[in-house]
Structure 1
Amino acid sequence: MNRVCSVDYRMRLVRVMNYIDANLDRDLPLEELAAEACFSAFHFHRVFRSMLGMTVAGYVRRRKLVRAARRLVDTGDPVVDIALEAGYGAHESFTRSFRSMYGLSPSEFREQSRLKPVISPDALELIPLLPPGGIDMDISIKTFELIRVACVRHVGPYAACEPAWQKLCGWAGQKGLLGPDTLAIGISYDEPSSTPAELLRFDACVSVPDSVQGEGEVGIKTIPGGKYAVAVHVGSYSGLEQAYKELYGRWLPEQGLKPRDEPAFEIYRTDPSITPADKLITEICVPLE
């Protein structure tokens, strides 16, 4: 069963890769690509990056360079025209990107291919559809009840969200809402590799009773209940990205599970102000269909 479901993930991504190839000369919104892959826009980019090892934008750049390499081999078109078609406004930037991928400048690539056609434009086509190795992480499926939270929105780099937590916890502390059963939850709405850092949206949240109302910058929202994949990450927050790659790139495909059209969230089980970084416990919770 797991093998079949892994192939299903691959088929979805191969379909979207072919779609990108057929539409290289126009903008491809993330929502459009997610729909083509039949994934929620909340989760598509993480699945793509985790399984292919590159961002959607990186893959598009790569495919344009492959097409440029083919044109260098198959036509006598000027290099500057090929650079423009690949989306580069300057010959120098095209040359840098091309050399980084193929180890030769465009002119050198064309000349060497004519003299001795040993370099294929598609030499770098084979890319992983699963990461080469996993990490040791406890992952299980849990059913959550609806969680009512107070929250403060942060817009900007995720690493700079501390002021939102300070506002939230200061407000909650004054109202006596911070107890041993209070959950500290973070909700990230945007994928950092596809969204400018200044536009990233994050909600710092704490669970609250039904009687609590929002006030000022503090809002009230609910996190839907239902089935979730829960991955326990032990260690620094800097290691969370690798944990997400394991969850989205390997575990979900192998289990044949599809994320629900809602954002994932994190539950912080330890207080970073008193807990060593290597002892921090974070639960990554991905909603499942």
Structure 2
Amino acid sequence: MPTAAAHRYRARFDRVLRHIERNLDGDLSAEALSGVAAFSKHHFHRQFAALFGLGVHRYVQLVRFKRASQRLAFRDDPILTIALDSGYDGPEAFSRAFKNRFGQSPSAFRAQPDWAAWHAVYRPLSVTRRFSMPDTPPPIAIVSVPDIPVAVLEHRGDPALIGESVRRFIAWRKAMGLPPRLHATYNILHNDPEQTPPEDYRLDLCVATDHAVELNEAGIRAGRIPGGRCVTLRHIGSDDGLRVALLRLYHDWLPDSGEELRDFPPYLQRVRFFPDVPEHEAVTDIFLPLAG
């Protein structure tokens, strides 16, 4: 078990990770970040690399490029705006750096992202963030949820390709006039990507609507999230921490609760979206359906 000193040491680095998320447009030099952690600037970059397996400069680059790539793939922001927001003087320098990182220019990525390359680039970032400790563990509550009629796009297959399903889902929603501010967004988690062969993986992308769903080329159908009692936990931040938050319900809460689970998968409600908000401000409500 980690000692209290080890927890305090790790907490100082978690403070750095949160600072980076909250100040993507600010000074994120190793010298500035060493001050956030209250470590010597002469040792900080080595301490960071020893703990996380990648250097602090690369970590900052990955976080900034992740925001840029999400905006390219899922939003209509001009490439010039994305380049300037990423700290570049213009689109040419941004394009060179982006292509060097992903093997595609920003315009090529926007047209047809290479998701396999994208996930390979961000794997170190995901591993680093997965076990970041929240400032305060969020509260757990039991709530009653009504039936929710939804339109469903079923993603089956490699979880690394979910981004392509999300693009198709967003395009259909826009065509149907179902914006997130008026129609809630849900994900139904049929299985765990870390415990499931890629070809058997399934996740449902859902939008709340009681409108009839006509036959469509996107493959979207009508569905329903059944109402009933659920235990819920709010996760704030990157999706990289979602699995740990979900395991908190299964591992820490459920055994002592005296509750039984209902025969329906866990699901998420996407309350605030990255990249519309900074990644550390994304809000996701986790629901575990309960019997009774």
Calculate the TM-score normalised by the size of structure 1: 0.51
* Contact kept? 2:213, 2:220, Cα under 8 Å: no
- What RMSD, in angstroms, separates the aligned Cα atoms of the two structures? 2.0
1:235 paired residue number: 237
Kindly state the Cα deviation for residue 221 of structure 1 after the two structures are TM-superposed. Answer: 0.6
Distance 1:142 1:160 in 2: 33
2:287 paired residue number: 285
* Contact kept? 1:185, 1:268, Cα under 8 Å: yes
- Say if 2:182 is the partner of 1:181: yes
* Contact kept? 1:142, 1:228, Cα under 8 Å: yes
Cα 1:234–1:159 change in 2 (3 A) is farther
3-state SS in 2 of match to 1:215: coil
1:150 paired residue number: 151
* Contact kept? 2:232, 2:287, Cα under 8 Å: yes
Question: 1:237 is matched by which residue type in structure 2?
Answer: D
3-state SS in 2 of match to 1:273: coil
* Contact kept? 2:145, 2:228, Cα under 8 Å: yes
Distance 1:215 1:146 in 2: 24
1:265 paired residue number: 267
- Tell me which structure has the larger Cα radius of gyration: 1
Cα 1:214–1:143 change in 2 (3 A) is farther
Q: Runs (4+) of structure 1 moved beyond 4 Å? A: none
Deviates further, 156-165 or 246-255: 156-165
Kindly state the Cα deviation for residue 157 of structure 1 after the two structures are TM-superposed. Answer: 3.4
Distance 1:211 1:149 in 2: 10
Distance 1:227 1:138 in 2: 17
Distance 1:288 1:141 in 2: 9
Calculate the TM-score normalised by the size of structure 2: 0.50
Distance 1:238 1:198 in 2: 21
Distance 1:156 1:187 in 2: 15
Kindly state the Cα deviation for residue 183 of structure 1 after the two structures are TM-superposed. Answer: 1.0
What per-residue deviation string (whole Å, max 9, x for no partner) do you get for residues 33-86 of structure 1? xxxxxxxxxxxxxxxxxxxxxxxxxxxxxxxxxxxxxxxxxxxxxxxxxxxxxx
3-state SS in 2 of match to 1:269: strand
1:67 paired residue number: none
Question: 2:283 is matched by which residue type in structure 1?
Answer: I
What per-residue deviation string (whole Å, max 9, x for no partner) do you get for residues 137-162 of structure 1? 22111111111111111122334312
If asked which structure has higher relative contact order (CA below 8 Å, sep 6+), I would say 1
Give ranges in structure 2 of 5+ residues lacking alignment.
1-132
Kindly state the Cα deviation for residue 214 of structure 1 after the two structures are TM-superposed. Answer: 4.6
1:254 paired residue number: 256
3-state SS in 1 of match to 2:142: strand
3-state SS in 2 of match to 1:263: coil
3-state SS in 1 of match to 2:272: coil
Give ranges in structure 1 of 5+ residues lacking alignment.
1-132
Please give the residue correspondences for 1:217-228 in structure 2 after superposition, counting only pairs within 5 Å.
217-228=219-230
* Contact kept? 2:186, 2:205, Cα under 8 Å: yes
2:25 paired residue number: none
What per-residue deviation string (whole Å, max 9, x for no partner) do you get for residues 190-236 of structure 1? 12233112320111111112444452311111110111111101111
Distance 1:175 1:280 in 2: 25
1:141 paired residue number: 142
Identity of matched residues, %: 29
Kindly state the Cα deviation for residue 181 of structure 1 after the two structures are TM-superposed. Answer: 2.8
Cα 1:148–1:193 change in 2 (3 A) is same
2:276 paired residue number: 274
What per-residue deviation string (whole Å, max 9, x for no partner) do you get for residues 250-285 of structure 1? 112222111111111111111212221111111111
Distance 2:249 2:198 in 1: 23
* Contact kept? 1:150, 1:214, Cα under 8 Å: no
1:190 paired residue number: 191
Distance 1:210 1:175 in 2: 10
